[in-house]
Chains A and B, each alone.
Chain A
């Protein structure tokens, strides 16, 4: 079997899904036997080459995320939405019930610890936030979803090992899935 290329990407999430991925502990070395981890928040590769599998944590919250997920889709044979934020926006999407400007004002203008002399983040070097946070499947085709906040490490390892061995993961067994 040929070695696979694996990427993991972090969009609008809390990194908890990546931490749960790290919770597979030493089994990460088993994954490294089957695949090169070419991009991941804990390695140095910065550009996404063509890959077999990409796990994506988090929802799409900004122009940068959108651009990125479109690029990921182009580069990846299999795209996996990792965790509730990627699957259905979850906590990242809780701001959707409010106007974006209200959210920004609360943080950058009216917060009680602010000194009142600041500026809104708006330089060309910062991203442009979208009005609404959307889950991955709203903008790209998603091949597999792993729900959970975060998904349990055993479930993530199961999905990864199935995909790396050219099998389709079966998450219909409820024991692998749980809320919260």
Chain B
């Protein structure tokens, strides 16, 4: 059967996700979903245009890849620079970077849950699209909306209190930080902690209630097994800022552990595809067909042996029960995982803010250009991020390779929407709420498409069912 004979459903753009994308659902002649493709439409070209610049510019240029996780880019970038310089950050510099990174993770997870996803849980997937957003939530549940907004604000304020800016900060520099944290600002951040904890816990109770009341949907929602990768600390504890990599298979067996991120090329390869600007990475040892793995909060909780902090550890044990000791594959659980992680982040931020060394002025060490090549890695909110630079003898970049979190979830996102489409779209019977579910499969991954193509689309949402002659049989539009 060639393409013309297939019926095509198109969702464009996918809303309430962070990026430019569109989905095509192809039906076969019987009206069954044959295939779904997730198209990402944006390209910015960082790998090329950074060539010829000094490597030291990268911690400031690369955050512009993405306004949601700019700190992760700065951190992966600065680590690559430090490898080039043969340099370790100062103790306090390291603590401050860790704190800023936690702040970003908290604000990004707050955005994903409260601003983008909670409307589906609190107002319903089939509720009025004009109100299915954070402002709609604010009308019905003003307290929850406000607290979600404030949780994000807390995360952003950490950056601001240290560097004077919330987005695209300056000051994460090779050797540590360019700015210290003042005692006044430390105290101003500390007062946020109890509220932030409570808000994350409110989020957790919302998602748990939803999971309890919608068991069947939650369990069956895009639940195919996959491999997982994430960063862990020396004892296998979940780690975002600085650790080693662990891969597990779909049964939960550890495939690789304590892997130095600098060896990423041995384990990860990517393939570009014709129908998206987002590449398809895979676990190299198993090849393109079998090697798809997931990253991000669900993956991180699946690979981790434990969480670092008390409250998060309690939730983590409950999370582990879902899989009965095996990895949790249901894509819906991304939401739960994200909140458990946010809880851990708030607790860890609390510990850091209580560490007397956090306000030390010993924030930076100095070094020079020592090695031609550097690889930096950290966990961005959406998954593991790699920056890899090669320089010439004057320190100019000759090659830049960026392996981005969302990209690594691309093969699985595509598979998840295919599964959801098969479940919820039957022939030409396409209802608004069903489409929203297809989109929400994507939203579970909280993809940051800005990032992944270093690169959202704004055509009216259109669903077309086209017959064998290419004639439109049926059309739904959402305005």
Contact = CB atoms under 8 A, between A and B. Distances in A.
Given A47-B461, A112-B399, A19 B67 contact: yes
B168 A121 contact: no
Contacts of B268: 113
A94 B61 CA distance: 10
Nearest to B268: A113
Interface stretch (A124-132, A137-145, A159-167, A169-177): A124-132
A55 B270 CA distance: 36
Interface string B418-453: 000000000000000000100000000000101000
B146 A26 contact: yes
Contact of B44 (A40, A92, A102, A123): A92
26 contacts: A10-B456, A13-B450, A15-B19, A16-B168, A17-B67, A44-B15, A44-B16, A44-B133, A45-B129, A46-B459, A46-B478, A47-B478, A61-B42, A61-B44, A91-B64, A106-B51, A107-B48, A107-B279, A111-B270, A113-B269, A114-B270, A114-B272, A119-B274, A121-B43, A125-B39, A149-B168
Interface of B: 12-13, 15-20, 22, 24, 37, 39, 41-45, 47-49, 51, 61, 64-68, 70, 111, 115-116, 129-130, 132-135, 138, 145-146, 149-150, 152-153, 156, 165-168, 170, 264-265, 268-277, 279-281, 288, 388, 399, 401, 403, 436, 448, 450, 455-461, 477-479
A97 B49 contact: yes
A150 interface: yes
Interface residues of A, number: 69
Closest 4 A/B residue pairs (Cβ):
A16-B67, A118-B272, A46-B461, A103-B45
Contact of B272 (A16, A103, A108): A108
B68 A127 contact: no
Interface of A: 9-10, 12-20, 22-23, 25-26, 28-29, 32, 37, 39-49, 61-62, 64, 68, 90-92, 94-95, 97-98, 100, 102-104, 106-109, 111-115, 117-123, 125-127, 129, 149-150, 153, 180
Contacts of B460: 46-47
Nearest to A16: B67
A42 B443 CA distance: 11
B39 A126 contact: yes
A96 to B, nearest CB: 8
A41 B439 CA distance: 13
A27 to B, nearest CB: 9
A122 B272 CA distance: 11
B275 A126 contact: yes
A45 B16 CA distance: 10
Given A44-B132, A119-B274, A107 B45 contact: yes
Contacts of B388: 112-113
Contacts of B399: 112
B37 A149 contact: no
A113 B22 contact: no
B273 A118 contact: yes
Given A16-B64, A98-B49, A150-B167, A119 B15 contact: no
